[in-house]
């Protein structure tokens, strides 16, 4: 019975997104639609990054690297899949949907595997090593894509077609994936595994003493987080004609960190708000390009000094609205 | 054989620059357990201060007249840059790190990333994002030694770095402040109970580390000919890896790590491909984290509650 209800809810949500898509495409200019799509992609990035940086208390500052892996992976798989699938299934909306989603999942898989490779050595140790290793990884991956001739080197990958990558990404797919990822990460965060992740954040030694397999959980959470960044990368890649290495510079990682810190480290709804905030503020600051990062940097420092827990702290919006006590413990007290 | 010797000489001079920067990382980490991400930017500001100081002292005039820049003026440039960087380091500590010193570990780390970003972008606004040619505060003299080309610049880099490192060694081992630094890195609370003014010692640590980074910045400018506001990112990272390789918190470790990273980078560039010279550092980082996370000269410390 519950399964039936769940399927019904899922179908209703997808229908609602489809309806919204028609509404958005009719009501807004392409310019606004693009910002809406970017906001959706940001939400995926922020919610995914929050799992590792917020919930687990580790710190990745190179998530743009995983996004790049997902973007290139999805673009490449999509292009290589299009030929054979168009041959067997015929060309149409359904085939395109199949190609797109398989490509996205492939991108997520590549990103997840690179997350495992990066996470396994660095997560055995204390969290701040992860910061350095991910920073290095983000740089290396860009050097690799810059030199990978089969992926177009520095010019970027535009597929085999002269018009560039097919623009599969639209409102429906972006927000369908937003819902899937937000629900999945929410369920994970409030599951037993999620509690263990929070325990690692609060006190790793105590968690280990309670027989929590800390390293395994940290690496798993990191790989999941990398895979979600991969999905976002795939969606991003199919929003424009191609993927270029310079789309995934260090600034992109900083954008992601600003998203989760503004909203509140450890809060899913905070990450959603932060993702939207960054998408909108990037547009508003378009004319201030060269001051943008100075302002972001100051914002980071000031938030850390004045309100390190961000807007929501570790609380969730719906807990606040229901006036319920937070399900996860609040920010830890001062520790020596 | 001569090619190998040549690469080793280049590697050692590059490595001694990394070692100078790594000292700052390792000293701050030893005391505050903080990766001072802004350290690479202090190095950058040091290089730029040297650049402007040299211009103010009229290096262009000497160049135009084809004269060598006098040695005492070159030393003055070095001292000015080191002093400016020391002030910057102390200011960063005071305004950004001190308010969050007792917060959970992630908070200072994010603050440090914020400071680093701020300085990079402020640097791009102030100094222009374009690379600048570094003034010739030392005019290059080449000579050959057993078929290997050695320049006075490489030798100076090595000599200056060596002198500064020896000075630091004696300071940390013999002076009162140096002893207090070691006490703080051993146990900051116990040091406080023994009447050590921890704020003063932390300030001194930042000042010294930053001054060394500025010296590294000037040597880097001499060695690599151009500087730009983002030069601190990759160089800072490599120096940090050097500190981890040698054992973070260990001063001799930072020196050994720096020299090894410089050598590895030059040998990769010479024998594999110049494109991978930046990547090798991170391969080393991942290997050391997997095999010997406490570093070559680090001490294994048991985690305590």
Taking contacts as CB-CB distances below 8 angstroms, the residues of chain A near B113 are: 61, 131, 254, 257, 300
Taking contacts as CB-CB distances below 8 angstroms, the residues of chain A near B122 are: 294
Q: Which of B111, B118, B305 sits opposite A294 (nearest CB)?
A: B118
Q: Which class does domain A2-321 fall in? A: mainly alpha
Asked whether the beta carbons of residue A297 and residue B244 sit closer than 8 angstroms, the reply is no
Asked whether the beta carbons of residue B124 and residue A57 sit closer than 8 angstroms, the reply is no
For an interface test with B, give the residue of A115, A258, A266, A304 to mutate (most B CBs within 10 A).
A304
Could you tell me which of A246, A102, A249, A264 has the C-alpha nearest to residue A173?
A102
SS3 A266: coil
Q: What is the pLDDT of residue A327?
A: 52
The span from the CA of A253 to the CA of A262, in Å, is: 14
Q: Which of B103, B114, B125 sits opposite A300 (nearest CB)?
A: B114
Asked whether the beta carbons of residue B282 and residue A122 sit closer than 8 angstroms, the reply is no
Residue B261 is encoded by which pair of tokens?
Answer: 């990273």
Q: Which of A135, A140, A301 sits opposite B115 (nearest CB)?
A: A301
For an interface test with A, give the residue of B39, B117, B231 to mutate (most A CBs within 10 A).
B117
Taking contacts as CB-CB distances below 8 angstroms, the residues of chain B near A135 are: 237
Q: What is the pLDDT of residue A262?
A: 87
Low-confidence ranges of chain A (pLDDT < 70): 126-127, 322-336
Q: What is the pLDDT of residue A336?
A: 39
Residue B202 is encoded by which pair of tokens?
Answer: 């932390």
| Chain A CA closest to residue B35 | A128
The span from the CA of B234 to the CA of A138, in Å, is: 12
Asked whether the beta carbons of residue B118 and residue A301 sit closer than 8 angstroms, the reply is yes
Asked whether the beta carbons of residue B114 and residue A136 sit closer than 8 angstroms, the reply is no
SS3 B222: helix
Q: What is the pLDDT of residue B292?
A: 84
Q: What is the ipTM of this complex?
A: 0.83
Could you tell me which of A330, A326, A201, A309 has the C-alpha nearest to residue A260?
A309
Asked whether the beta carbons of residue B105 and residue A136 sit closer than 8 angstroms, the reply is no
Residue A15 is encoded by which pair of tokens?
Answer: 């229908």
Residue B235 is encoded by which pair of tokens?
Answer: 């160089």
The span from the CA of A63 to the CA of A118, in Å, is: 11
Q: What is the pLDDT of residue A326?
A: 52
Q: Which of A254, A332, A334 sits opposite B117 (nearest CB)?
A: A254
Please state, as a whole number, how many other Cβ atoms lie within 10 Å of the Cβ of residue A293.
Answer: 22
Nearest CA of chain B to the CA of A272: how many Å? 20
Taking contacts as CB-CB distances below 8 angstroms, the residues of chain B near A298 are: 114, 118
CA distances from A115 to A49, A255, A257, A272, B211 (A): 12, 19, 17, 22, 37
Q: What is the pLDDT of residue A37?
A: 92
Q: Which of B106, B116, B275 sits opposite A59 (nearest CB)?
A: B106
Asked whether the beta carbons of residue B104 and residue A331 sit closer than 8 angstroms, the reply is yes
Mean pLDDT of chain B: 90
Are B174 and B30 a contacting pair, CB within 8 Å? no
Q: What is the pLDDT of residue A108?
A: 97
Q: Which of A132, A147, A298 sits opposite B275 (nearest CB)?
A: A147
Asked whether the beta carbons of residue B234 and residue A61 sit closer than 8 angstroms, the reply is no
Counting Cα atoms < 13 Å in the Cβ hemisphere of A129 gives 25
Q: What is the pLDDT of residues B252-304, one digit of tens each?
A: 999 999 999 999 999 999 888 887 788 888 888 888 887 888 888 877 766 55
Instruction: For Cα atoms B109, A43, A237, give the angle at the middle one, nearest 5 degrees.
Output: 105
Q: Kindly list the domain boundaries of chain A, sorted by start residue.
A: 2-321
Q: What is the DSSP letter of A243?
A: B
Low-confidence ranges of chain B (pLDDT < 70): 301-305
Dihedral angle sign, alpha carbons of residues A297, A299, A303, A305: positive
What's the pTM value of the predicted model, to 2 decimals? 0.85
Counting Cα atoms < 13 Å in the Cβ hemisphere of B277 gives 16
Could you tell me which of A223, A252, A228, A253 has the C-alpha nearest to residue A118?
A223
Q: What is the pLDDT of residue A63?
A: 93
Non-local CB neighbours of A60 within 8 Å, separated by 6+ positions: A49, A52, A53, A130, A131, A134, A222, A225
A vs B, Cβ pairs < 8 A, gives: 120
């Amino acid at each position: 019975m519950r399964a039936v209800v769940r399927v019904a809810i899922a179908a209703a949500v997808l229908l609602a997104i489809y309806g919204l898509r028609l509404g958005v495409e009719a009501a807004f200019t392409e310019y606004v639609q693009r910002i809406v799509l970017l906001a959706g992609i940001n939400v995926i990035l922020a919610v995914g990054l929050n799992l590792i940086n917020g919930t687990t208390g580790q710190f990745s500052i190179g998530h743009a690297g995983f996004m790049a892996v997902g973007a290139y992976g999805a673009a490449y798989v999509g292009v290589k899949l299009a030929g054979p699938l168009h041959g067997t299934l015929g060309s149409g909306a359904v085939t395109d949907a199949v190609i797109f989603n398989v490509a996205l999942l492939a991108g997520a898989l590549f990103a997840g595997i690179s997350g495992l490779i990066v996470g396994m050595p660095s997560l055995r140790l204390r969290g701040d090593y992860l910061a350095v290793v991910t920073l290095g990884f983000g740089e290396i991956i860009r050097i690799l894509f810059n030199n990978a001739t089969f992926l177009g080197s520095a010019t970027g990958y535009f597929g085999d077609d002269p018009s560039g990558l097919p623009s599969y990404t639209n409102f429906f797919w972006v927000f369908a994936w937003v819902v899937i990822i937000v629900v999945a990460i929410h369920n994970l965060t409030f599951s037993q595994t999620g509690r263990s992740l929070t325990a690692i954040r609060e006190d790793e030694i105590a968690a280990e003493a309670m027989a929590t397999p800390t390293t395994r959980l940290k690496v798993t959470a990191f790989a999941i987080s990398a895979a979600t960044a991969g999905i976002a990368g795939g969606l991003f890649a199919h929003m424009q004609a191609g993927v270029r290495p310079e789309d995934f510079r260090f600034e992109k990682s900083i954008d992601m960190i600003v998203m989760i810190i503004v909203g509140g480290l450890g809060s899913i709804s905070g990450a959603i708000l932060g993702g939207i905030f960054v998408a909108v503020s990037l547009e508003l600051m378009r004319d201030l390009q060269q001051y943008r990062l100075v302002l972001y940097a100051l914002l980071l420092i000031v938030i850390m000094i004045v309100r390190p827990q961000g807007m929501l702290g570790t609380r969730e919006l719906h807990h606040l609205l229901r006036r319920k006590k937070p399900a996860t413990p609040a920010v830890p007290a001062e520790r020596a | 054989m001569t090619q190998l010797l040549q690469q080793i000489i280049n590697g050692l001079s590059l490595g001694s620059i990394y070692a100078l920067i790594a000292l700052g990382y390792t000293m701050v980490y030893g005391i505050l357990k903080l990766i001072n991400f802004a350290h690479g930017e202090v190095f950058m500001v040091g290089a730029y201060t040297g650049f402007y100081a040299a211009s103010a002292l009229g290096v262009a005039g000497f160049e135009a007249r084809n004269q060598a820049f006098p040695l005492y003026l070159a030393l003055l440039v070095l001292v000015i840059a080191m002093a400016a960087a020391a002030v910057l380091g102390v200011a960063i500590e005071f305004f950004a790190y001190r308010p969050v010193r007792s917060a959970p570990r992630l908070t200072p780390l994010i603050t440090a990333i914020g400071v680093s970003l701020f300085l990079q972008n402020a640097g791009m606004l102030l100094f222009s994002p374009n690379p600048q040619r570094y003034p010739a505060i030392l005019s290059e003299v080449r000579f050959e030694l057993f078929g290997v080309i050695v320049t006075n610049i490489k030798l100076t880099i090595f000599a200056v770095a060596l002198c500064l490192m020896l000075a630091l060694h004696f300071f940390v081992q013999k002076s009162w402040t140096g002893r207090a630094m070691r006490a703080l890195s051993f146990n900051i609370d116990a040091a406080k109970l023994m009447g050590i003014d921890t704020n003063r010692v932390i300030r001194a640590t930042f000042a010294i580390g930053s001054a060394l980074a500025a010296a590294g910045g000037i040597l880097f400018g001499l060695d690599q000919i151009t500087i730009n506001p983002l030069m601190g990112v990759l160089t800072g990272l490599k120096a940090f890896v050097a500190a981890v390789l040698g054992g973070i918190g260990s001063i001799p470790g930072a020196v050994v790590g720096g020299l090894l990273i410089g050598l590895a980078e030059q040998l990769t560039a010479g024998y594999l491909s110049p494109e991978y010279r930046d990547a090798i550092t991170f391969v080393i980082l991942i290997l050391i984290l997997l095999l010997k996370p406490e570093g070559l000269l680090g001490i294994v410390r048991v985690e305590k509650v």
